[in-house]
Each structure stands twice: as C-alpha cells, then as structure tokens.
C-alpha cells in the first residue's frame, strides 16, 4: 500500500509540475493561466462537459440483416461426400429455406428444406421423389 500511495503522490506531483510549467511559460495553449477565476471556472466546466459528453455516448448495437442469402459447400473426400446448398433466411417471417445437392459416392440427391419457426415446423422434400 505504501508503494501505491507513493506512486499516486508522484503522479500528482508530475501533474502539478506540468500545470505549473504551462502557466509560467509561454506554452499556455488553452489560456488557463491568463484567465480570471470566473473564466477559468467556465473553461474547466466546458472541458468537463466535453469529457462527460464523449464518455456518455454509447455505440449502437450490432444487428444482423432481416433477410439474407448464402451458399454452403461441404466436402469430405474420405467418405466421398459433397454438399452444395443455397440458403435463404427471413427474420421478419421467421423462416429458413435451403436447396441442396448432395453427392455421396455415385449417388446424387436433391433436397429442399423449409423451417417455419413460428409454427415450429420443418419440411425436408426430396426433389426427385416429390
């Protein structure tokens, strides 16, 4: 604790020395030292409001788009498996549609999947046997 207290005192002393140097030299950038007490208080108030305003701003939350489409490609050479799919997502109606081509060995299948999340239903349709 003593070490921490001495570190704080050193920082305060450095800050005071910097302020005194600015005031007694020609480096009075903001005009703090040449101002009357009323102007000094006003400048400090404006500076404090700017700092508070900067920290009070909250960044907007990240959101995903309400509707989007994508592609999926999956390959497993050991199983001789390939999957090509197109996916569409609709957040406002809470549904997902997937059209896919699945190749397993020499067999090629086509599927359409529909997920209706509001109704809690899902359908997988084989496009060959419809």
Q: Digits of tens for pLDDT over the chain (130 positions)?
A: 455 556 666 776 666 666 665 555 554 555 555 555 666 677 778 878 878 887 777 777 888 889 999 999 999 999 999 999 999 999 999 999 999 999 999 999 999 999 999 999 999 999 888 7
Three-state DSSP at 21 gives: helix
Q: What stretch of H or E contains 89?
A: strand 81-90
**Cα(101)–Cα(84) distance, rounded to whole angstroms?**
5
pTM: 0.52
Edge-first strand order for the sheet with 81-90 is 67-76, 81-90, 95-104, 107-116, 121-126
**How far is CA 36 from its chain centroid?**
45
């Amino acid at each position: 604790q003593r070490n921490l207290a001495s570190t704080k005192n050193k920082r305060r002393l450095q800050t005071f020395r910097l302020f005194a140097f600015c005031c007694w030299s020609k480096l009075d950038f903001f005009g703090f030292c040449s101002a009357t007490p009323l102007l000094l208080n006003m400048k400090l108030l404006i500076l404090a409001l700017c700092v508070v305003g900067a920290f009070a701003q909250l960044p907007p939350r990240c959101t995903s788009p309400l509707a989007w489409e994508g592609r999926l490609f999956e390959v497993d050479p050991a199983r001789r498996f390939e999957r090509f799919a197109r996916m569409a997502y609709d957040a406002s109606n809470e549904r997902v549609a997937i059209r896919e081509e699945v190749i397993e060995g020499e067999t090629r299948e086509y599927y359409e999947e529909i997920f209706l999340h509001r109704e809690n239903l899902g359908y997988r349709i084989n496009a060959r046997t419809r």
